[in-house]
Amino acid sequence: MSDADAVVVEDRCLIGSMSTSLQRVVVGTGSLVGATALLTEGTVVPPRSRGLGAPAAVAPHPDPDAFAEGLRRGVATYVANAARYRSDMERID
């Protein structure tokens, strides 16, 4: 595979679990790819947009500022939960 076939994910994106991106996909800054979404070859998710479904339907959010804030809060929650889970884990043998 050459660099021309690479998948590009720009800054501040949230990529859902079990999503699949084929060749030459670009996910723009501040975008969301839903869990189990399928981004087919050559799909472009513009900045502050959503890619949802299989195959993914790409659409801008009607309120980009609210979308960006919601995405920021969601990521912060993921990070806080990961730290909490890590600190609360106990080894069981």
pLDDT tens-digit series, residues 55-89: 999 999 889 889 889 988 988 998 999 999 989 88
Give the tens place of pLDDT for each residue, 4-20: 789 999 999 999 999 99
Q: Which amino acid is at 6?
A: A
In contact, 31 and 20? CB cutoff 8 Å: no
Q: Residue 48 has what pLDDT?
A: 92
Residue 5 is classified by DSSP as: G
Q: Residue 1 has what pLDDT?
A: 59
- Backbone torsions φ then ψ of 35, nearest 5 degrees: -55, 135
Question: Whole-angstrom Cα distance, residue 48 to residue 25?
Answer: 16
